[in-house]
Amino acid sequence: MRRIPLSRRSHITGFQPQATGLTEHESALERDFVTLVRFADAVARITSQPVTIEFQDQARTRRYTPDFLVRWNGGEAELIEVKYQADLRRLGKQLRPRFMAARRWAREHGASFRVATERSIRTPRLSNAQRLLPLRNAWLDPDAALQVRVALMSQAPATLGELLQVLPGERATVLGTLWRMIARGALSVDLDVPITLGSPIGLPRGVTPL
């Protein structure tokens, strides 16, 4: 793929692992976007700088390379440009024909196009993703996990703090089990707000209470 010069705003390059390999990012905001995708869909395919699109702009042929193509597990595909709000305001006139060309390309290839900014990326869900992703593959004691499920299935919905009080064992160990289960999706919490001891917690849909 053709390499795109780095933005002056954030010179942070690196890679993040995904099920199909490594995904490169070239800014802090791109890094955070990839984190959100990995958190939302563990098997999503993220391709960095997937295509260079040629388009006409005032009788001139120009080229534009979006940041990512995301193919979600459900079959949907999204062509993504990651931009700071300030850059959109400053470069809006210059970016408009590029984005129009990206939308046309996306329609022709069974995808959709959108621009992701810090407003949609840097949310409480990102903070939760950064905390939980490293725990997703951490070892989980099956007996401790069973105790958690039994406790939730035999009583009314609880908060994280209330569940912590009724489960046996050392507080730190029990809390570690709860965090690992949340990370794996074995416990249900609202991931769009900060997780605290007062957060309501339950079993995912489809698990029948005792």
Where does the pLDDT of residue 20 fall: very low under 50, low under 70, confident under 90, or very high at 90 and above? low
Q: In the sheet that 77-82 helps form, which strands lie side by side, from edge to edge?
A: 45-48, 68-71, 77-82, 112-116
Quote the pLDDT of residue 8.
Answer: 44
Domain ranges of the chain: 14-122, 135-201
**What single letter denotes the amino acid at residue 31?**
R
Over residues 67-88, the mean pLDDT reads 96
**Best CATH choice for the domain 14-122 from the list 1.10.3470, 3.40.50, 3.40.1350, 3.90.1200:** 3.40.1350
135-201 has which fold? Arc Repressor Mutant, subunit A (1.10.10)
**Closest alpha carbon to 53 in 112, 103, 3, 117:** 103
In the predicted model, is pLDDT for residue 22 greater than 70?
Answer: no
Q: Which two tokens stand for residue 166?
A: 């009724």
pTM greater than 0.85: no
More confident residue, 158 or 18: 158
Distance CA 42, CA 61 (A): 38
What does residue 95 show for φ and ψ, rounded to 5 degrees?
-80, -25
Average pLDDT of the chain to the nearest whole number: 88
